[in-house]
Homo-oligomer: A and B are copies of this chain.
Amino acid sequence: MKVIIIGGVAAGAKAAAKIRRLAPDTEINLYTDDDYVSYSSCGLPYYIGGAFEDFRMLLVRTPAEFEKQKIHIHLRHKVIKIMPDTKEVLINVIDKNKNITKPYDKLVIATGARARIPEIINVNLPQVLPLRTLNDGKKLKELTVKSNKAIIIGGGYIGLELIEAFVKRGIHVTMVHNSSHLLTRLDADMSELVYDQLMSISHSRFDILLNENVIEFVGDKNRFYGAKLSSGQFIDGDFAVLATGIIPNSEIALEAGIELGVTKAIKVNEKMETSVKDIYACGDCCEENLIIDNKPTWYPLGSTANKEGRCAAMNVCGISESFGGVLGSAVTRCMDLTVSQTGMSEKTARLRGIEPISVTVTKDDKVGYMPDSNNITLKLTAEKSTGRLIGGQAIGSMDADKRINTLASAILARLTAAEFCMNDLTYAPPFSPTIDPLLNAAMMLRDKIINL
Contacts and interface: CB of A to CB of B under 8 A. Distances in A.
Contacts of A413: 409-410, 412-415, 419
Interface in A293-340: 301-304, 306-307, 324-333, 338, 340
Nearest to A340: B426
B409 A46 contact: no
Contacts of A429: 40, 42-43, 46
Interface string A182-224: 0000000000000000000000000000000000000000000
Interface residues of A, number: 68
A37 interface: no
B371 A52 contact: yes
Interface stretch (A106-114, A115-123, A233-241, A397-405): A397-405
Interface in A228-287: none
Nearest to A414: B413
B409 A423 contact: yes
A46 B403 contact: no
A425 B408 contact: yes
A404 B399 CA distance: 13
Contacts of A338: 431
A424 B342 contact: yes
A40 B367 contact: yes
Nearest to A323: B422
Interface string A29-49: 000000000001011001100
B367 A303 contact: no
Nearest to A407: B409
A61 to B, nearest CB: 13
A134 interface: no
A435 interface: yes
Given A301-B427, A405-B406, 5 more contacts: A43-B367, A43-B369, A303-B434, A399-B402, A410-B413
